[in-house]
Amino acid sequence: MTTGDKVACASSADEACPTAGTRNDAADHVDAGAGRVNRLADDLAALEGQGRALLSIEGLWCPSCAAATERLLRDTPGVHDARVSFIGSAALLRWDPDRTTLAALAAAVRRLGYRLAPPDNRRTTAERLDGEIRALSVRLTVAAFFGVWTMLFSLLIYLGVGEHSGGAVGWWLALASVSFALPAILFAGRPILVAGWRTLRTGVPGMDTLVGLGVLAAAGLSTWQLVRGVEHVYADTAVMLVVLLTVGRLLEARALRRAAATIDALHARLPEVATRLDADGATETVAAESVRIGERIRVAAGERVPLDGRLSRGETRIDRAVMTGESRPAAARVGDTVLAGSVNLERGIVIEVTAVIGEREIDRIGEQVMETVRARPGTQRLADRVARWIAPIAIGLAALTVLIGQLAGLPIEDTLLRATSVLVVACPCAVSIAVPIAYVSLAGRAADQGVLFRDAGTLERLAGVDRLYLDKTGTLTAGHPAVSEVHIHRPLPAAIPDDPATLLHLAAAAEGDVAHVVAQALREAADSTVTPLDARREDAGVVAEHPEHGQLLVGSTRFLERYGVLARGNQSGDAMQVELAIGDRHVATFMLDDPLRPSAVATVNALGAAGIDCAILSGDRESSAIRVARAVGIPTDRVIADCLPEDKADVLRASRGRTAFVGDGANDALALAVADVGIAVSNANRTAAMAAGVVLREEGIDGVRRAVEIARHGRYAMRQNVAFALVYNAFGLSLAAIGMIPPVLAAAAMAASSVTVILNAARHGRGPTPDRAQQARA
């Protein structure tokens, strides 16, 4: 990997020191802060000439925060490109070192209220979400506790307790209501107010902007009323806005946390190990990360290669599907390069290591995937898209209401009351809480059917996919060999059974119970309990003794010829061949091929009927890819084969419309990250699963169809909620502007609309889940 390809990381130490209790403590904090700033300057100076860096951004509260930061960076002179991801909390920057510096960009981000920092590889997504959930839970608890008291005192005012009691009782009740609301607004609502201001000043207002304006308007009007000695305050409205938006954020964070934990558990793996050879030929099993370049490792037949290297002893065939997508095993001889992730199929080999952990080809792909995933900008979610264009309308209408009221000679109290009602009505809290609830319900329903969505943005994007690319090996096909044909070389002597099932049973018994793909394929094809025979495994095959038929040879044609057996009827084509000899007679050839998944044809047909064009994007040979395309019903002009990982990514970038990619191998990981929606099948490589937005938990690709159906159902539910919220806003804003809806009634109507869309979202989330028989019929 060249220096230009590597992702540069910078650290930031522009964090404000907490207030110290003593002068000495404060001085220590200042000194520490200065030291961190100096270290940051040193880090930035080392990166200035590269013009590219992947940085973490700390302090992002919402997708609109990420959008605001991205706009700020893009608008900075000298910046060629900036991509900010809310989910990844990262920014990928490309800039002209002659026109700007990283120090200047860090300062600009710091003025916006966020911090640049190096990617924190020690914290997983689940750990980061745990911290966010804890913070949201604390804020919600505080808001709910003080909100209950705020509502209680407000209710007493609405019931006329102050008026009936006489004197200043009503004013004191109003003061108590505002006093209890302040902790909820200042503590629980602080992130909302800060995010609203930051996004507004950068020109990308979102949900936080609208809610923040409503909270400030209600709190400000309440304070003004108290100063004037009036008991009618609207602190309960401000608290309700804070609580509703915080609940929505907490629900979504919990859903993201569950998805992250489930996917990590599905793809957890043991530490990689290697069998190292010393100078005397003795072997030792060690952690792969402890092996150094130039050392030799032994890889037995059936094992996965742990490190990149050069074959120094032995000849074999290598399954490179996970790295190249090629289904047919490749011959490997002394001097050939063998990549980590490949499977040694035939015999034990010795490899001289040329790349250690972190420098392997699979690690290089992983770095590209991590860069793409962390810097991938999330789709602006539905609620924020609605808020984006409602915000200027609400602000303009509130200002216009004040202006018209003053020109019409209305009292300033009535004018401000109408303007506050406009801002409260404009808050689409119904959407802010209904969209997360819809996602939680739909994601749970999808998980019951073996489909895991990482986030709500993925679900929204999948609903709009119109072209789906499928990898071939391991996706449309099973990804492992299976016996497809048995060729018996007749005529056979009378003592040798002329029956494919019996011959398969003999070959499987000779292979025994070893963990080898060929042995597993023969055992599965034998379809009966196989008792292993006493056998001796050699480099290219196995020799076994059968009590009735004598010597059995199972292996390649060269292996048979080594024992003086003349091989007959040699086949050609894509299939792997395994030969069986009984005594000195070559009796059968077993053709092993990568079979189609049982659900492949039905899934492709169902997706086509749903208006999604399917195509094959594979690293395998064109002839093999075309054969599979014809089998599943994909036109041959939609087959793109012989692709390297970068080629797949380029095809997806050049595709028009919204694309999805389904894959399983490390060679698919970059394509899974680049596609609008990446879908990893159940047996996917860990790197591929990390890059995907959707992970199928069950065997087969029928989950792709189910995922699309659920996503489209969810989009329909969300659009229903948005339509209802917009109708509410249209009527509410009009009535609030002319003074027919006071803030209290506006808040009540907002709560009613929130309950309505929540029930609608829950109704869609509880939609019927088809049972397995229904799925099979579909």
DSSP 563-585: TT----S---SSSEEEEEEETTE
Residues 6+ apart with CB under 8 A from 683: 474, 479, 664, 699
Residues 6+ apart with CB under 8 A from 380: 63, 67, 388
Q: Is 154 exposed, middle or buried (0-12, 13-18, 19+ CB in 10 A)?
A: buried
Strand order across the beta sheet in which 308-313 lies: 283-287, 273-277, 296-299, 349-355, 308-313, 337-338
Residue pair 216/394 in contact by the 8 Å Cβ criterion: no
Q: Is 460 exposed, middle or buried (0-12, 13-18, 19+ CB in 10 A)?
A: buried
Global pTM reads 0.65
Cα distance between residue 71 and residue 102, in whole Å: 16
For residue 542, the cross-strand partners are: 537, 554
Q: What is the pLDDT of residue 660?
A: 94
- Three-point CA angle 721, 725, 708, nearest 5°: 20
Closest CA to 389 of 62, 67, 726, 741: 726
Q: What is the pLDDT of residue 6?
A: 38
Q: What is the pLDDT of residue 20?
A: 35
Residue 604 phi/psi, 5° resolution? -60, -45
Cα distance between residue 578 and residue 655, in whole Å: 42
Series of mean pLDDT values for 10-residue runs along the chain (778 residues): 39 34 42 49 57 74 74 85 73 81 82 72 64 88 93 84 74 91 92 84 75 85 85 84 83 68 50 82 87 91 87 85 68 88 82 86 69 51 65 79 83 79 69 65 79 81 92 85 88 86 90 77 82 80 88 88 81 74 91 87 92 91 89 93 88 90 86 90 77 83 89 81 74 72 67 70 56 39
Q: What is the pLDDT of residue 616?
A: 94
